[in-house]
């Protein structure tokens, strides 16, 4: 009929364009003023349109925030996946470190999104946006792959860790692994969990300004801890010293 060359009917393309602009300016306001100060009227003002016009594209302020949150999750997941893909697949420690560093850099560069993402869930608590959940899974999956592949390479003695788990823990960790579609030892999942909590704990303290100022730029301390996370997992197999650094 009309322009078959463009598969999307132009009308919809324009709509998508302004929706993108809305998101972009909202994102800017967010980064500059913080999540609490994001106002639809402010966005409308910056775009030179009436506040009410925004409602043709956005259901409500909260929905817009949720959308930006999901975008943030996606952006983080992309960064992690890119770091994972770019790393040497045979140097498991190095790859883990690369991914962890990518996570840190992203957190520092996107402090506000980090708040949105890892801050408290929506007060209503009701339905966690399904897209948010999916993107979170994607991020966590990358972190897990670093560990599971190291386990697969025989760097971690998961049996030793299993021994420290009660049957109840064992069962739930196994269930969790099932949720992720991976078939690894519960001990391996325990390692993943420890890695994730430590990574997130450090970054949340740092990005939210709770680390003591005496620790100036804690990049090296972060590296040190992430290496230790890995080394702790490998401890049963390599009793002394950090394993196979080979920068």
Partner DNA sequence: CACCCATCGCGAACACTGTTCTCTGTAGTG
Partner DNA sequence: CACTACAGAGAACAGTGTTCGCGATGGGTG
Q: Which does 150 bind (CB under 5 to 8 A by kind): DNA, its own copies, none?
A: none
Number of residues that bind its own copies (CB under 8 A): 55
Report if residue 61 touches DNA, rule: CB under 7 A: yes
Q: Alpha-carbon distance 247 to 139, whole Å? A: 25
Spell out, one character per residue from 166 to 205, where the chain touches its own copies: x when CB under 8 A holds, - when not.
x-xx--xx-xx-xx----------x--xx-xxxxxxx-xx
Is residue 234 within 8 A of residue 243, CB to CB? The reply is yes
What single-letter DSSP state applies at residue 18? H
Q: Alpha-carbon distance 214 to 197, whole Å? A: 23
Report if residue 61 touches its own copies, rule: CB under 8 A: no
> CA angle, 203 as apex, 201 and 207 as ends, to 5°?
125
Spell out, one character per residue from 13 to 52, where the chain touches DNA: x when CB under 7 A holds, - when not.
--x--x-------------------xxxxx-----xxxxx
Tokens of 2: 């009309």
Instruction: Check the CA dihedral 233-235-238-242 and report its sign.
Output: positive
Tell which residue, 203, 192, 182, 177, has the closest CA to residue 233.
192
The residues binding its own copies (CB under 8 A) are 33-34, 36-37, 111-112, 115, 118-121, 123, 125, 128, 136, 164-166, 168-169, 172-173, 175-176, 178-179, 190, 193-194, 196-202, 204-205, 207-210, 212, 214-216, 220-221, 224-225, 228, 232, 235, 239, 242
């Amino acid at each position: 009929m009309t322009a078959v060359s463009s598969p999307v009917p132009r009308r919809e393309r324009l709509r998508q364009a302004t929706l993108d602009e809305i998101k972009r300016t909202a994102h800017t306001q967010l980064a500059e003023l913080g999540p609490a100060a994001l106002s639809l009227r402010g966005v409308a003002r910056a775009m030179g349109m009436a506040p009410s016009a925004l409602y043709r594209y956005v259901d409500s302020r909260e929905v817009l925030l949720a959308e930006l949150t999901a975008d943030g999750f996606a952006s983080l997941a992309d960064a992690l996946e890119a770091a994972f893909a770019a790393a040497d697949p045979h140097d498991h420690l190095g790859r883990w470190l690369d991914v962890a560093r990518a996570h840190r850099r992203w957190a520092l560069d996107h402090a506000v999104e980090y708040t949105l993402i890892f801050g408290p869930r929506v007060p209503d608590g009701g339905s966690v946006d399904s897209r948010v959940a999916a993107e979170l899974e994607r991020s966590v999956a990358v972190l897990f792959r670093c560990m599971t592949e190291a386990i697969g390479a025989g760097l971690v003695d998961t049996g030793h860790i299993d021994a420290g788990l009660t049957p109840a823990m064992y069962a739930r960790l196994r269930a969790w692994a099932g949720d992720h579609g991976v078939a690894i030892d519960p001990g391996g999942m325990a390692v993943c969990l420890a890695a994730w909590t430590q990574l997130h704990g450090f970054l949340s303290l740092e990005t939210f300004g709770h680390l003591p100022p005496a620790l100036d730029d804690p990049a090296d301390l972060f590296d040190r801890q992430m290496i230790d996370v890995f080394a702790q997992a490998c401890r049963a197999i390599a009793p002394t010293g950090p394993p196979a650094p080979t920068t």
